[in-house]
Amino acid sequence: MTLIELKDISFAYPGQAPVLEGANLTLAAGQRLSLTGPNGAGKSTLLRITLGLQKPTSGTVSVFGRPRTQEADFHEVRRRVGLVFQDADDQLFCPTVAEDIAFGPLNLGKSRDEALAIVDRVLSDLELMHLKNRITHKLSGGEKRLVTLATVLAMEPEALLLDEPTNALDTKNEARLLEILKALPQAILLVSHSPAFRQALAPETLDLQDGKLLAV
């Protein structure tokens, strides 16, 4: 089953040369796929286009078998596809870890008790229960990264888009993150500068060259 299909995607930032020129990508259920390419090639832009956070100048975005063109079309997509941002501080904004993780489920209409049960389950699954009541902005970079993943998993997404997930991680936390991600059932689209991390999690690779994605 195809979850995400991007066809002939082109995109340019105002006043700049196009970063994407006819890029094609398909992600199936359970598939693990890495995107590679030089800095500024458009890898993060592709992730944002998938979620409707940026609009391509041309091409089509289909997610869960439906074309997505208007802002309203992407509301469902953002509930069912989780994006882990490159910078954890862009994603964490509540005072405590528990509140940050509960935020998504509460927005989906869960009761407070249901949301708190999800918080406990996700933190237990990730072995992060010791962080539950911590002040978010006082966490280390590695702790923030793992909590960011917890906030996304609390939404029970069907696919994960990971934008440089090893940013700010030491060797120990990177190994822990890899262990967590490998055990998940979700399809994963990965952008990472770490060849070892890509090889371990998502060895199938598309390389972004001159605005197009080429199988490696």
CATH number, residue 80: 3.40.50.300
Confidence class for position 26, pLDDT limits 50, 70, 90: very high
Confidence class for position 111, pLDDT limits 50, 70, 90: very high
* Number of domains present in the structure of the chain: 1
User: Can you give the residue range of the structural domain that contains 10?
Assistant: 2-215
Distance separating alpha carbons of residues 128 and 131, to the nearest angstrom = 6
208, two tokens = 């972004």
Q: Is the pLDDT of residue 53 over 90?
A: yes
Q: Is 131 helix (H, G, I), strand (E, B) or coil?
A: helix
67, two tokens = 């074309």
Confidence class for position 129, pLDDT limits 50, 70, 90: very high
